[in-house]
Structure 1
Amino acid sequence: MFGLWMLAWVDRANVAFAKLQMLSDLHFSETAYGLGAGLFFLGYVFLSVPSAIVQQRIGARRLISMIAIGWGAASIAMMFVKSAGMFYALRFLLGVFEAGFYPGVILYFNQWFPAKRRTRNFSIFHSAALCSTVAVSLSGGFVLEHMSGMWGLAGWRWMFLLQAIPTVLLGGVALFVLPDGPATARWLSDAERRLILDDFAQDRNHALPPVEGSSPLMANPMLWLLAGIYFCILAANTALGFFTPTILREAGFGGYSAIGNALAAICVLGAIGNIAFSAFASRYRDVRWHCAIAALVTLTSVVMLVFVWHSSRPATFAALVFGVAGTGAGVSLFWQLPARFMRENTLSFGVPLISSVANIAGFLTPWMTGYLRDATGSYASGFIAAAGVEVIAVVALVIGIPLVARRQQSVCGSCANATE
C-alpha cells in the first residue's frame, strides 16, 4: 500500500516538475497550468463516494488493482499532450481513476490496525507521498537534464512515461498479493486472526461514545466541520506540492538536477518530521490538539516562505522542510478524527464524502495561485491566501470540534429524556 500511494503521488504531482520545461514547450500560461493541475481534484471529488460503494461490493483487492492500472495508463498518456484541452482532459481523467484509492485505504486500514497503532502506521503510509517527491525529484532532474531530445521527445514527455510504468506493474501485482482483509490473508494463522479481533474488541470496550447525534449523515454538522478542516489543510498541502520546484528555481537552487536534489532532501527531512511527530501524538487518545499544532507549523512555514524565498536559500529550504512536515503530519493526524467523532456504520460513506468535499481545495488552490501569479507577477498572494485558510483549520480544531461535540451530546441527552 505504501508503494501504491507513493506511485499515486508520483503520477499526480510530477506535473510540478514537468512544469519547468512543459510550460515553455507548449506555451501555457501559469493560469492554464494551475487549472490543469487542479482539475485532477475535480475528478477526485466526483468519484470518491461511488468508488467506496464499489469497494464494498467487489473488495479492496480488485478495486485497488483496477484503480492503479487505470491511473498509470492515464499518466502514460500525459506524454502525448499537445494542447491545453488535452492537458485538462487527462488531468481530470487521472483524478477519476485515483478517486477511490485514498479513502479506500483509510477504510481498509481500519480493518487491520487498532487505534493504539493506527496513527503511527497511517503516518508511515502517508509518508509515501513525501517519498514520491524524492522519486520525482531525483528521476525527474536526471531525465530533464539528460534525456531531452532523445528519439525526438522532450524530457518532460520521457518523464511522464518512465514514472508511470511502475504504477501499471504494481497494480497488476496487487491483484495477486493484496488480501481483502484479515479473514482472507493466507499469511495469518488462526491465532493471529484472533489477536486482531481481540484488539478491535478492546477498542470497542474503551471507545468514547460517538457524538454525531441522531441526525442523518448529510445533516450531521460534525461531518461538514471535519470536511471544512480537511479542506483548509489541503489548501496549504497543494500549494506546496504543485509549486515547490518553481520556488526552488526562483530561490536560486540551480539547474534541474540541483533542484531535484534539494527537493528530495526537503521531502526526506519532512517525512522524518511527519513520522516522528505522529508517533509522538499516537501516545495520546486525543489527536485533535496535535493536528492543530501540525497545522500551526504549516501556517508559520508558509508565511515565512513568502518573505524569504527571494532572499535566502537556507531559510527557504528550512521553511519548506517544516511546511512539508507540518502538512504531512496534519493529514495523517486528521484521518484519526472521523473514527473518534462519527459512528462506525457511517464511516464507509462519511470518509469518502469528507475526502470529496475537501479535495475541492486541490482544484481551487493551484488554479488561484497560477492566476494570481499571472495577475501580480508573484506567488506571494496565493501562498498568503493558503496560510489564511490554514488559520481557519487551527481555530476549527481547537474551538469548533468541542463546540459541535458538546452541542450534539446535549441534543442526544434531550432526545433521550424525551423518550423516557
Structure 2
Amino acid sequence: MTSTSLTRPGLRADATGQEVFLEATYRKIAFRLVPFLALLFLLAWIDRVNVGFAKLQMLGDLNFSEAVYGLGAGVFFIGYFVFEVPSNLLLERIGARRTLARITILWGLASMAMIYVKTPTQFYVLRFLLGAFEAGFFPGVILYLTYWFPAERRASINGLFLTSFGIAGVIGGPLAGLIMSSMEGVGMYSSWQWLFLIEGVPSVLAGIATLFYLPEKPQNARWLTAAEQHAIIAALEAENSQGKKHSSLKAAFTNARVWLCAAIYFCIVSGNATIAFWAPSVIKDLGVDDRLHIGLLSSIPFVVGTCAMVWSGLHSDKTGERRLHCAFATMIAATGLALTGMTLGNAVAALCALSLAAVGILAAFPVFWSLPTAFLTGTAAAGGIALVNSIGNLAGFAAPYLIGSLKTSTGKLSSGLYFVAALELMATVLILAFVRKAK
C-alpha cells in the first residue's frame, strides 16, 4: 500500500509534465505555421472574390450582363473541381512546400491576367484557370495540418486557419473599395483592372516565400528540438493506431461518410459563395453607391462571422462535440439568408440579417472539417478531403450562377437568397439525421 501511494503521484507528475510539454510544443507549431498558412489563404480568397467588387465597374465597361458575371464567377469552381483531387494526391507524393508554392504563384499570375479580359469567353477562361490553379490549396492545408495536430485539436486549429477568409472579407472589401476609388483614371487601366493587378502581385511573392519558409513535416522543422519532434510524431502515430481509420484512396472514394460530408459541404459552401460574391451587390441595391462605403459595409458580416468561427472551433474542441455545433451553425445560416431576402428594402435590417448568415456559415467551417479527418488518414485523407472539398465547392459555381440568372430574369435577389437558405437548412437536416454522435 505504501509503495502504491508513493508511485501514483510520481506517475501523475510525469503525465502532467508530458502534457505541459506537448501543449507548449503545439502552441509553438501553431505560432509558426498557422499565421503563414492563413496569410496564403487570405490572399487566395481575395484573388478569388475580388471579382465581386470589380463587377461594380467591369460590367458596364465590358457590356456584360448579370448572368455573364454569375457564370464567370461560378466557372472558377469547375476548374477547382476538375483539378482538386489530383492536386491533393500530388501533395501527398511530393510534399506540401512545393505544392502550395506552385498553387500560390500560379493563381497570382492568373488574377493579374484578368486585366486583359475583353469578352465573356476570355472572362470564363481566366476564371476557370484561376480555379484550376488554386485547386488543392484548401484541402492541401487541411491535410497538411493533420501531419502536425491530432484530431482533438483540429477544430480550433482549423478555426484559426479559416479566420483568413473571414479576415479577407473584413479587409478585402475596404481594400478593393480603396483601390478602385483611388486608381480611377490612373495610367492606362480602369480601376477594376488595377484591382486585379495590385491584388495579384502579393500572391506571387508569397508563393516564392513558401519555398523557403514551410517545412514538410515535424521531422523537417529545424525550429523544433529533437524531443519536440519525437513527442509530436509519437502522439500522431499513437492516434492513427487507435480505432479504424481508412488509409487507401479506394476506401475514401467508396466510403458513404465521405459522400455524406461532400453533400453537407455543398450546402454550406452555397451560403459562403453567396455572401462572398453578392454582398457588394446586396449593399449596392440598398442604395449605397460609393465604392469605398460598399467595401466598408461589406466587411461587417465577416467581422462578426470571424469571431463566431474562432469561438465555434475552440468550444467544439473544449466540449469534444462536433455534430450539434455544425448543425446549429447551418440553421443560423439558413435563417440569416432567408431574413436577408425578406428585408432587402430595409438597409439596416438586411445588413443585420446578412451578418447573421455570415455567423452561421463561418462558424460551420472549422467544426465541419473535423468530421472527415476523424476517420481518414494517409492517401485516403488526401483523396477524401479533396473529394469533399471539390464536390462541395461546386456550390460555388451553382449559387452565383443561379442568383445571377434569377436577378437577370426577375430583377430581384430575394428568390436566389431563399434557395440558398433552403440548402443551408438541408445541411442541418443531413447532419442531424446521418452524422454519428461522437462516442
Q: Structure 1-normalised TM-score?
A: 0.91
Indicate which of 295, 311, 314 corresponds to 1:279: 314
With over 3 angstroms needed to count, the CA separation of the structure-2 counterparts of 1:22 and 1:345, relative to structure 1, is closer
Asked whether the equivalents of residues 253 and 262 of structure 1 are also in contact (C-alpha less than 8 Å), the reply is no
Specify which of 188, 194, 203 is matched with residue 230 of structure 2.
Answer: 194
Which residue number in structure 1 is paired with residue 150 of structure 2?
Answer: 114
Structure 1 position 314, deviation (Å): 2.2
Alignment map for 1:219-258 (pairs within 5 Å): 219-258=254-293
Counterpart of 1:333? 367
Asked whether 1:134 is paired with 2:170, we answer yes
The farther-off stretch of 281-290 and 75-84 is 281-290
Q: CA deviation at 1:238?
A: 0.7
Does residue 419 of structure 2 align to residue 391 of structure 1? no
Equivalence for 2:50: 14
Residue number in structure 2 paired with 1:104: 140
Residues 51, 99 of structure 1: 8 Å contact kept? yes
Q: CA separation in 1, counterparts of 2:299 and 2:425?
A: 28
Instruction: Determine if the alignment matches structure 1 residue 317 to structure 2 residue 351.
Output: yes
Residues 93-117 of structure 1 show CA distances to partners (whole Å, capped at 9, x for unaligned) of: 0000000111110110001112232
Structure 2 stretches lacking a partner, 5+ long: 1-36
- 1:353-368 map, 5 Å: 353-368=387-402
- CA deviation after TM superposition for structure 1 residue 152, in Å: 2.9
Could you report, residue by residue, the CA deviation over 1:351-385 in whole angstroms, capped at 9, with x for unpaired residues? 11111112111111111110011111111111111
Give the count of matched residue pairs: 403
Q: State the identity as a percent.
A: 37
Deviations 1:303-334, CA, capped at 9 Å, x for gaps? 110111222x2222222222222111212211
Counterpart residue identity of residue 197, structure 1: I
Report the counterpart of residue 158 of structure 1 in structure 2.
194
Q: Which residue of structure 1 aligns with residue 76 of structure 2?
A: 40
In angstroms, what is the RMSD of aligned CA positions?
Answer: 2.1
Q: 1:161 to 1:93 in 2, by over 3 A?
A: same
SS at match of 2:64: coil
User: Which residues of structure 1 form unaligned runs of 5+?
Assistant: 407-420
2:334 corresponds to 1:299: yes
Query: What amino acid is aligned across from residue 44 of structure 2 in structure 1?
Result: A
The change in CA–CA distance for 1:203 and 1:287 in structure 2 (over 3 A counts) is same
Deviations 1:38-85 (A, max 9, x none): 010000100011111211221100111111000000000011111111
Report what 2:20 is aligned to: none
Quote the Cα distance in structure 2 between the aligned partners of 1:214 and 1:327.
Answer: 29
Partner of 1:92 in structure 2? 128
Task: Look up the equivalent residue of 2:214 and give its one-letter code.
Answer: L
2:104 paired residue number: 68
Greater CA drift, 316-325 or 12-21: 316-325
Structure 1 residues 214 and 348, CA gap change in structure 2 (3 angstroms): closer
Contact 1:10 1:135 (8 Å CA) reproduced: no
Shift of 1:239: 1.2
Task: Tell me by how many angstroms 1:285 deviates.
Answer: 2.4
Residue type of the partner of 1:351?
A: I
Q: Deviation string for 1:206-236 (max 9, x for gaps)? A: x654599998433322111111111111111
Residues 72 and 164 of structure 1 are in contact (CA less than 8 Å); yes or no, is this contact kept in structure 2? yes
**Contact 1:290-1:333 within 8 A present in 2 as well:** yes
Mapped partners of 2:374, 2:146: distance in 1: 12
Q: Kindly state the Cα deviation for residue 237 of structure 1 after the two structures are TM-superposed.
A: 1.1
Q: 1:354 to 1:150 in 2, by over 3 A?
A: same
Match in the other structure for 2:90? 54
Give the Å deviation of 1:127.
1.1
Kept in 1: contact 2:97–2:210 (CA 8 A) = yes
Indicate the SS of the match to 1:150: coil
In 2, distance between residues paired with 1:154 and 1:131?
Answer: 26
The match for 2:181 is 145
1:379 paired residue number: 413
Query: How far apart are 1:145 and its partner, in Å?
Result: 1.6
Is the contact between residue 208 and residue 340 of structure 1 (CA under 8 Å) also seen in structure 2? Answer: no
Q: 1:410 maps to what in 2?
A: none
C-alpha distance in 2 between matches for 1:382 and 1:396:
21
Is contact 1:42–1:95 with CA below 8 Å preserved after alignment? Answer: yes
Whether contact under 8 Å (2:184, 2:191) holds in the other structure is yes
Instruction: Provide the rounded CA distance (Å) in 1 between the counterparts of 2:315 and 2:344.
Output: 31
Structure 1: distance between partners of 2:417 and 2:175: 27
Instruction: Give the CA deviation at 1:136.
Output: 2.1
**Are the equivalent residues in 1 in contact too, given 2:312–2:366 (CA < 8 A)?**
no
1:217–1:272 distance in 2 versus 1, CA, 3 Å: closer
Q: Report whether the alignment pairs 1:369 with 2:403.
A: yes
How does the TM-score come out when normalised to structure 2?
A: 0.87
Tell me the distance in 2 between the aligned counterparts of 1:137 and 1:342: 36
Equivalent position amino acid for 2:397 in 1: F
Q: Is the 8 A contact 2:40 2:206 kept in 1?
A: yes
Aligned counterpart, 2:436: 402
